[in-house]
């Protein structure tokens, strides 16, 4: 999979050299390229922002550097997907992560300030699948943290990136795992730690009782933490 990330803070993406993602890159399963948006500016101050039309606080990212950077990068994608993190986007879900893990690649445009001039998304909608996405209902300072989360969620689902297939498909939100429930508690050794014990049932070896107990725990926790998931 080929992933291009465009940002004014390339160093923010340094963690993509670590852990699972870093290993997948070393193995050649993943080709991640981080681009500095300022390399697509042509004024002496490498300006990427300007005042918002209509007034108001903050600054908006100018369309011209985005146009130059995206033209170059999208030309290298046979089936282009342009992901734009923004608080006003559609929720980024496990379902999107699964769909995107089956694609040849994606381009992630990381904005800063109050976001990117809206004409950039309009321009590329004719040439790419443009998807504005939100990680959740809170406001980050820019798209970089969202890009890290998206890359990690997508790439861990690629064949060969995680050795243990069951640990991927059994996740809380994986389609078909415990449909619509969050995961219950998990335990490892020792059987007692600082007076806290592992529930007896997990040591019983009775796989039927264990499965039933886990389901009940998942339902209990879903009701406590995510009651909206139990509607319907």
Which positions lie near ligand JDQ, rule CB under 6 A?
85-87, 111-115, 134-136, 138-143, 146
Q: How far apart are CA 82 and CA 117, in angstroms?
A: 15
| Nearer CB in complex with ligand JDQ: 67/87 | 87
CB 216, min distance to ligand JDQ, A: 33
CB 165, min distance to ligand JDQ, A: 30
| Nearer CB in complex with ligand JDQ: 145/158 | 145
47-71 burial code (b ≥16 CB/10 A, e <16): ebbeeeeeeeeeebbbbebbbebbe
CB 83, min distance to ligand JDQ, A: 11
Q: How far apart are CA 72 and CA 121, in angstroms?
A: 16
The set of residues, in sequence order, having a beta carbon less than 8 Å from that of 188 and lying 6+ positions away, is none
Contact 137, 81 (CB under 8 A): no
| Nearer CB in complex with ligand JDQ: 96/140 | 140
CB 226, min distance to ligand JDQ, A: 18
Nearest to 84, CA basis, from 58, 72, 66, 71 = 66
Angstrom CA distances, 179 to 17, 90, 171, stand at: 33, 21, 10
CB 95, min distance to ligand JDQ, A: 17
Query: Coil, strand or helix: which one is 67?
Result: helix
Phi and psi (nearest 5°) for 211?
Answer: -60, -40
| Nearer CB in complex with ligand JDQ: 58/199 | 58
Angstrom CA distances, 208 to 9, 80, 116, 151, 215, stand at: 51, 46, 53, 37, 11
Give catalytic residues, as residue numbers: 87, 114, 156, 171
CA dihedral 132, 137, 138, 143 (to 10 degrees): -20
| Nearer CB in complex with ligand JDQ: 53/138 | 138
């Amino acid at each position: 999979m080929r992933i291009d990330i465009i940002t004014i803070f390339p160093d923010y993406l340094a963690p993509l050299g670590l852990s699972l993602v870093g290993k997948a890159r070393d193995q050649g399963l993943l080709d991640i390229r981080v681009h500095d948006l300022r390399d697509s500016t042509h004024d002496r101050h490498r300006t990427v922002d300007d005042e918002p039309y209509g007034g108001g606080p903050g600054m908006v990212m100018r369309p011209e550097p985005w146009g130059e950077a995206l033209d170059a990068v999208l030309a290298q994608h046979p089936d282009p997907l342009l992901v734009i993190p923004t608080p006003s986007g559609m929720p980024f879900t496990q379902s999107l992560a699964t769909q995107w893990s089956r694609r040849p690649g994606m381009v992630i445009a990381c904005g800063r300030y109050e976001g990117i001039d809206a004409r950039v998304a309009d321009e590329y909608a004719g040439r790419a699948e443009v998807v504005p996405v939100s990680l959740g209902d809170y406001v980050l300072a820019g798209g970089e943290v969202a890009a890290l989360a998206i890359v990690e969620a997508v790439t861990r689902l690629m064949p060969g990136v995680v050795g243990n297939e069951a640990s991927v498909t059994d996740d809380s939100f994986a389609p078909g795992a415990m449909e619509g429930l969050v995961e219950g508690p998990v335990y490892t050794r020792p059987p007692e730690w600082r007076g806290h014990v592992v529930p007896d049932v997990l040591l019983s070896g009775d796989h039927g009782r264990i499965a039933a107990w886990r389901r009940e725990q998942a339902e209990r926790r879903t009701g406590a933490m995510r009651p909206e998931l139990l509607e319907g």
